[in-house]
């Protein structure tokens, strides 16, 4: 065990609080973590929304081991290796409707987002519409931590310390509204009109200045905000009308989380690009990617002179052999175990189990879709976030990993969860909610 916790500057963590009372995980198998003090913790969050097939799955472990011993690294610029091409082909085949035909790799959701935003601006420029440089995000959106991602993102705390960010960015309003939608099962009815705000922003800046709109189909990080019925369809229609690219950030919603392959399948709305990460490798090796709709790659190939680089962008570790091997094995596990279908079949049981927490102290909303749920607690007056943090700590002590963002609890278990484990999760959480004042 480490003797000195100090030198590690932990990300998105209250460092002093953690180091005074550390929560160290030392092992993981299927639905459980093992803690440093030897306890089993039920994983209610698939790690950080990424371990969709469950932990330490032998097929994925073996694929990574085999790959590292065989080809540890290959330069991605001007060189290639088979896995990167095989994976790209599998991914485009997996996309519903055959609308997407190319894959650009990065190493995280953040890098996928930076890549998608850059591709959007470059796409317009290469087509002779270089005035389309503006990007539209949404309040309470999370698109990672790059400067592009925090600029289009809508989380005040992630933006305010970091200077002037990207210029030319505007934001749609978020769709969260407890007065109208509290305790909705699935998609809420109220709020579709909020998509029309896009028209207002377009009128303000003129469509000829706007490159792309980026949203999470379901906002995960800021507390599971589920799109109103018809909202995403409306965004799509407005983007079509003004030739603006629509980007869905599926870093969380991709790979079965909603009980469908991707949110685009679940909602039946087809954007121009999607960003993925997390579940693409079951969380084992960092990887992110952008999938582009037919026509985007072609625009570059048709207009940039042959033998020139078409896109001046990429990472040392784009399409890393270990990540590709992990992703290929992960996709096999998803398919063999029909995990997306399984998530869909469990969604009804999950919904009723989670909504059984309605009525417990401080619970002001419960919302769910697929195998995701958000439970919103009333904040303590003058101490926002402390009630949520206390729930996380008590759940951890009682054997359950939850995720909190302020006073909102987010749940997203591995898709292999069993019904009795859902019952156990709800029982532990219910017990904690009854105790926490
Ligand atoms: N887009 C979305 C929609 C995400 O959820 C990212 C981009 C960035 O991915 P990377 O791999 O760069 O972290 C994410 C990541 C939380 C939480 O508190 C969620 C994420 C990351 C960290 C914390 O729920 N999502
Ligand atoms: N900084 C320096 C000095 C570099 O040489 C490189 C890559 O060659 C980078 C940053 C970017 O690193 P990566 O490609 O891993 O994002």
Closest ligand 1 atom to 110 CA: 12
Residue 289 Cα to ligand 1 middle (Å): 14
Same-domain pairing of 313 and 391: no
Total structural domains within the chain: 2
Q: Are 274 and 246 in contact (CB under 8 A)?
A: no
Nearest CA to ligand 2 atom 16: 315
Residue 316 Cα to ligand 2 middle (Å): 7
What is the C-alpha radius of gyration for the chain, rounded to an integer number of angstroms? Answer: 21
- CB of 317 within 6 A of ligand 2: the answer is yes
Same-domain pairing of 328 and 348: no
Same-domain pairing of 332 and 344: no
- pLDDT, tens digit, 9 for 90 and up, residues 4-39: 999 999 999 999 999 999 999 999 999 999 999 999
| Regions of the chain with pLDDT less than 50 | none
Domain at 153, CATH number: 3.40.640.10
Same-domain pairing of 135 and 215: yes
Residue 285 Cα to ligand 2 middle (Å): 19
Of the candidates 201, 203, 206, 212, the one whose C-alpha atom is nearest the C-alpha of residue 125 is 212
Nearest CA to ligand 2 atom 2: 316
Q: Helix, strand, coil proportions of the chain in percent (round to 5)?
A: 40, 20, 40
Range of the domain at 142: 62-336
- CB of 105 within 6 A of ligand 2: the answer is no
Closest ligand 2 atom to 317 CA: 15
Order the strands of the 134-138 sheet from edge to edge.
100-106, 288-293, 273-276, 245-249, 210-215, 134-138, 169-172
Domain at 378, CATH number: 3.90.1150.10
Residue 10 located in a structural domain: no
Residue 147 located in a structural domain: yes
Residue 8 located in a structural domain: no
Residue 6 located in a structural domain: no
- Return the H-helix or E-strand segment holding 41: strand 40-43
Residue 247 located in a structural domain: yes
Q: 296, 321, 336 — which closes off a domain?
A: 336
Q: Tell me the best of 316, 318, 319, 320 to mutate to test the pocket of ligand 2, counting ligand atoms within 8 Å of each CB and taking the most.
A: 316
Same-domain pairing of 357 and 274: no
Q: 311, 336, 361 — which closes off a domain?
A: 336
| Cα angle 395, 398, 404; round to 5 | 10
Closest ligand 2 atom to 316 CA: 14
Q: Are 113 and 137 in contact (CB under 8 A)?
A: no
Same-domain pairing of 323 and 363: no
Rounded distance between C-alpha atoms, residue 148 and residue 113, angstroms: 8
Instruction: Count how many residues are written for the chain.
Output: 437
Rounded distance between C-alpha atoms, residue 145 and residue 148, angstroms: 8
- CB of 316 within 6 A of ligand 2: the answer is yes
Closest ligand 1 atom to 249 CA: 3
Residue 4 located in a structural domain: no
Rounded distance between C-alpha atoms, residue 201 and residue 322, angstroms: 43
Q: Which residues line ligand 1 (CB under 6 A)?
A: 48-49, 108-110, 113, 142-144, 216, 220-221, 249, 251-252, 277, 403, 405, 410
Same-domain pairing of 74 and 42: no
Of the candidates 339, 419, 399, 414, the one whose C-alpha atom is nearest the C-alpha of residue 46 is 414
Determine how β-strand 273-276 pairs with β-strand 245-249.
parallel
Of the candidates 371, 385, 383, 377, the one whose C-alpha atom is nearest the C-alpha of residue 414 is 371
- pLDDT, tens digit, 9 for 90 and up, residues 168-179: 999 999 999 999
Residue 242 burial by Cβ neighbours in a 10 Å radius (0-12, 13-18, 19+): middle
From the CA of 374, the nearest ligand is 1
Residue 98 located in a structural domain: yes
Closest ligand 2 atom to 314 CA: 14
Rounded distance between C-alpha atoms, residue 3 and residue 401, angstroms: 24
Residue 2 located in a structural domain: no
Residue ranges of E strands in 250-295: 273-276, 288-293
* pLDDT score of 435: 97
Residue 250 Cα to ligand 1 middle (Å): 10
Q: 302, 336, 370 — which closes off a domain?
A: 336
- pLDDT, tens digit, 9 for 90 and up, residues 129-150: 999 999 999 999 999 999 999 9
Same-domain pairing of 313 and 282: yes
Same-domain pairing of 243 and 107: yes
Distances (CA, A) of 334 to 49, 99, 267, 340, 437: 15, 21, 20, 7, 41
Q: Are 173 and 194 in contact (CB under 8 A)?
A: yes
* pLDDT score of 41: 98
From the CA of 75, the nearest ligand is 2
CB atoms within 10 A of CB 222: 23
């Amino acid at each position: 065990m480490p003797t000195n916790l100090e030198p590690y500057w932990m990300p998105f963590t209250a460092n002093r609080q953690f180091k005074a009372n550390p929560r160290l995980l030392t092992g993981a198998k299927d639905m459980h973590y093992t803690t440093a003090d030897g306890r089993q913790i039920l994983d209610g969050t698939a790690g950080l929304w990424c371990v969709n097939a469950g932990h330490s799955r032998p097929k994925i472990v073996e694929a990574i081991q085999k790959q590292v011993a065989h080809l540890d690294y290959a330069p991605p610029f001007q060189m290639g290796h088979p896995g990167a091409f095989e994976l790209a082909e599998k991914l485009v085949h997996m996309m519903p409707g055959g609308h997407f035909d190319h894959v650009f790799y990065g190493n995280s959701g953040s890098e996928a987002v930076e890549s998608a935003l850059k591709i959007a601006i470059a796409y317009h420029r290469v087509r002779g519409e270089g005035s389309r440089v503006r990007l539209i995000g949404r309040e309470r959106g999370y698109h990672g931590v790059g400067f592009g991602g925090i600029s289009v993102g809508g989380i005040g705390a992630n933006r305010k310390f970091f200077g002037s960010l990207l210029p030319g960015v505007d934001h749609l309003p978020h769709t969260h509204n407890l007065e109208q939608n509290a305790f909705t099962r699935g998609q809420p009815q109220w709020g579709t009109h909020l998509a029309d705000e896009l028209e207002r922003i377009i009128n303000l800046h003129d469509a000829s200045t706007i490159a792309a709109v980026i949203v999470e189909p379901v906002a995960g990080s800021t507390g599971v905000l589920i799109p109103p019925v018809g909202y995403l369809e409306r965004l799509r229609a407005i983007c079509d009308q003004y030739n603006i690219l629509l980007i869905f950030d599926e870093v969380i919603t991709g790979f079965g989380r909603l009980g469908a392959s991707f949110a685009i399948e679940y909602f039946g709305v087809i954007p121009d690009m999607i960003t993925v990460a997390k579940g693409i490798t079951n969380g084992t090796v960092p990887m992110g990617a952008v999938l582009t709709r037919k026509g985007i790659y072609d625009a570059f190939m048709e207009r940039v002179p042959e033998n020139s680089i078409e896109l001046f962008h990429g990472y040392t570790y784009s399409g890393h052999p270990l990540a590709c091997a992990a992703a290929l094995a992960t996709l096999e596990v998803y398919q063999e175990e029909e995990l997306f279908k399984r998530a869909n079949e469990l969604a009804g049981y999950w919904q009723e189990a989670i909504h059984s927490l309605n009525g417990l102290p401080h619970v002001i909303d419960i919302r769910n879709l697929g195998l995701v749920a958000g439970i919103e607690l009333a904040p303590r007056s003058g101490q926002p976030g402390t009630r949520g943090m206390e729930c996380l700590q008590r759940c951890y002590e009682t054997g359950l990993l939850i995720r909190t963002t302020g006073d909102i609890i987010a749940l997203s278990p591995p898709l292999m969860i069993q019904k009795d484990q859902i019952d156990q999760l709800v029982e532990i959480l219910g017990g904690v909610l009854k105790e926490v004042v």
